[in-house]
Structure 1
Amino acid sequence: MNPPDKSVPEKTRETAALYFKGVTDERPYDLWRAFDKNLARDLSLFITGQMYAREKIPHTVRQLVTVAALTVLVRPEELKLHIQAALNVGCPPEDIAETIFQTAVYGGVPAVNTALKVLKAVLEEKGMWPPEPAEARP
């Protein structure tokens, strides 16, 4: 017998905790809530509890896709949040950087440079900068 599916609010809480653990900047949910508590809840339940919590692709892939989209769209504030989420779900910094580099064809080098600055700032905040040289990695 299969266990019952988790409720959307439960999935929302679990996914938000996974993605946004340790995020100190204002999260979109906090901003939405300041203006409209009910709409903030609805948006959070849909985005975090239904879209981000889907199990069709791994969280690591989902976050790299999100990093790519936000890079091409040049959305550095949202990108910072999702670089933090990518690290939280286990994406190595070098995979995040490579994802950003791959967007140059579609978003242009200026978008890549902006995104790499955001990645560097997040890594500095987390004490992960400078990265370990490739030859020193196992």
Structure 2
Amino acid sequence: MIDEEGKGGDLTKNTTDIGRKLSEHLNPGMEDALNARYGHLLPGMAEGVVDFAYGRQYARPGLGLRDRYLGTIAALTALGGQTMPQLKVNIAGGRKAGLSQEEIAEVIWQMALYGGFPAAINALNAALEVFGEEDS
């Protein structure tokens, strides 16, 4: 699990339980929403996302959670506009992990070099939506 410094801990524990605790903290209701939307088509998909993405990736030791979110936001930005829903979720998670609005904007803008200006501008628009929701 994530320690006080935002770094992952012992992954010999049940990664699904670790992932579920972390995902509920960062994105409350995500597993239920995925299950409601896709569970009839892909049973176990929601639990798989929680286990792999949160329990096995975000909870890993060696890199702080906020830094993992910087990398995730950068990658989703460079991939372009088709990642908008995931980008919003990860920007919100990054804010909960301690990223400032300025840090998020800067990592997005850095990706203009790699994903292009349209991708960066689309990601900045996603960030503005998330920041606006925080303010309301």
Bin for the TM-score computed over the shorter chain:
0.7 to 0.9
What does 1:5-84 correspond to in 2, within 5 Å? 5-21=12-28, 28=34, 30-74=36-80, 75-84=83-92
Unmatched segments (≥5 aa) in structure 2: 1-9
Aligned residues: 124
Corresponding residue number in structure 2 for 1:104: 112
Unpaired runs of at least 5, structure 1: 129-138
Cα distance in 1 for partners of 2:56, 2:71 equals 17
**Identity rate, percent:** 30
Superposition RMSD on alpha carbons, in Å? 2.4
TM-score, length-scaled by structure 2 = 0.79
Which piece of structure 1 moves more, 87-96 or 42-51?
Answer: 42-51
Q: Taking structure 1 as reference, are residues 83 and 28 closer, same or farther at Cα in structure 2, changes over 3 Å only? A: farther
TM-score normalised to structure 1 length: 0.78
Distance in 1, Cα, partners of 2:73 & 2:36: 21
Instruction: Classify 1:29/1:55 alpha carbon distance in 2 versus 1 (closer, same or farther; 3 Å).
Output: farther
Matched, 1:118 2:126: yes
Stretches of 4+ moved more than 4 A in 1?
26-30
Q: 1:118, CA displacement in angstroms? A: 0.4
